[in-house]
A = this chain, B = another copy of it.
């Protein structure tokens, strides 16, 4: 449960109010490896919080992305998806079912952003995106 303290701290840092809705959204996101969409988070949160609107979930997730406690996942169509794991890792996207699988790879992580880009741009994210067909869909 100590993630709640951590979460509260991040909100305070960014002068965000710690509302029950925000806590509920973060609780369902935290530890979730499914890269859920707004809709999916909404359905889960709604079970124990029936008055919450989809719209609030959506705005909450965007706010979380703004303050850097979740990532917006690169996508290939379909609804926007979120990732509570902001540490360096990479994604495999199944183009048939939409499933996103995490993987880690030190060699990828170690590669530097090319000079050509680093010199001119502010780079805030770096990720390898693999696409294809997952075992379940073959």
- Interface residues of A, Cβ cutoff 8 Å to B: 72, 74-77, 80, 92, 94-95, 101, 103, 105, 107-108, 111, 113-114, 116-117, 120-135, 138
Contact among B94, B129, B135 with A74 in the assembled complex (CB-CB below 8 Å)? B129
State the oligomeric state as a number of copies. 2
Q: Which chain B residue has the least Cβ–Cβ distance from A112?
A: B107
A126 to chain B minimum Cβ distance, whole angstroms, is 5
A-B contact pairs, 8 of them (CB 8 A): A72-B77, A107-B111, A121-B130, A126-B128, A127-B128, A127-B130, A128-B128, A129-B129
Chain B nearest CB: distance from A47 CB in Å? 28
In the complex with contacts A76-B75, A77-B72, A126-B130 CB distance below 8 A = yes
